[in-house]
Amino acid sequence: MAQGQRAADDDTARDDTGPTEDADSDESLPKGEIFELLRNQRRRYVLQFLKQDDRPVELGDLAQQIAAWEYDTTLEGVTPEQRKRVYTTLQQTHLPKMDTAGILRFDSDRGVIEATDRTRDISVYLEIVPGREFAWRELYLSLGAISCALVAALWLEIYPLATVSNLTWTAVIAATFTVTAAVHIYHERNMRLGHGDQPPELSYGTDE
């Protein structure tokens, strides 16, 4: 069984809480409730699929694609058993919860899922992908510490740092932070649900 599929099943087993906000409410969904709903991998895959295409989708098509992601195969390679397993949990558990929260609209009679305004508004950044996520906070902290140490060294006129002009060092520090921030923004964009043809978790992989 694929690792992603086991994780999705484990999350389903642990998840015994549901949203309490009515789907027709104009109030924003609390961040804690969004986190609770989307901590489940299979629900994140649903959101990934809907963000790629705003058109209504058939439950069968959704289950086929999610099964392909979870079992690391092509759409044609998904077996009937794999598809049925995903289809059943989507129909009975995940889609009703997401519908209640207004994250999507699920017509259980027709088996059709549609995006809502909340689907489009929710921007999910997967900050942590086990084993692969770069420690950006630590990088910025290190750059800040190095910059402070450099400023202190220049103030004390420590050789050979003092042989380079302050303007040059200022340009180096500014360029370093600018390039780092640009790379971070690019990385963060790639880690958002709906960006790319498959979920970020699959693009970057995991070591679990």
Q: What is the pLDDT of residues 126-160, one digit of tens each?
A: 554 444 455 778 888 899 999 999 999 989 989 88
Asked whether 43 and 193 are in contact (CB, 8 A), the reply is: no
Q: Which domain holds residue 163?
A: 136-190
Task: Specify whether 110 is located in the same domain as 18.
Answer: yes
pLDDT attached to residue 204: 55
Q: Is the residue at 196 inside a domain?
A: no
**85 or 15: which leads in pLDDT:** 85
Res. 99: pLDDT tops 60: yes
pLDDT of residue 122: 74
Q: Which of 51-65, 78-92, 116-130, 165-179 has the lowest mean pLDDT?
A: 116-130
Half-sphere exposure of 121 (CA within 13 A, CB side): 13
Based on the fold, state whether residues 101 and 140 are members of the same structural domain.
no
Domain shared by 75 and 164, yes or no: no
Does 202 fall in a domain?
Answer: no
Do residues 25 and 98 share a domain? yes
Return d(Cα 174, Cα 56) in angstroms, integer. 47
- This prediction has a pTM of 0.57
Name the pLDDT band for 161 (thresholds 50, 70, 90): confident
- On the question of pLDDT at 24 being above 50, the answer is no
Q: Where does the pLDDT of residue 193 fall: very low under 50, low under 70, confident under 90, or very high at 90 and above?
A: low
3-state secondary structure of 198: coil
Instruction: Tally the C-alpha atoms within 13 A of residue 24's C-alpha that lie toward its C-beta.
Output: 0
Q: Is the pLDDT of residue 44 over 50?
A: yes
Q: How far apart are CA 49 and CA 56, in angstroms?
A: 11
Instruction: Bin 202: left if φ > 0, else alpha if -120 < ψ < 50, else beta.
Output: alpha
pLDDT of residue 133: 53
Rounded-to-integer distance, Cα 199 and Cα 190, Å: 9
pLDDT tens sequence across 59-96: 999 999 999 999 989 999 999 999 999 999 999 999 99
32 domain-assigned: yes
Total structural domains within the chain: 2
Residue 2: CA count within 13 A, CB half-sphere: 17
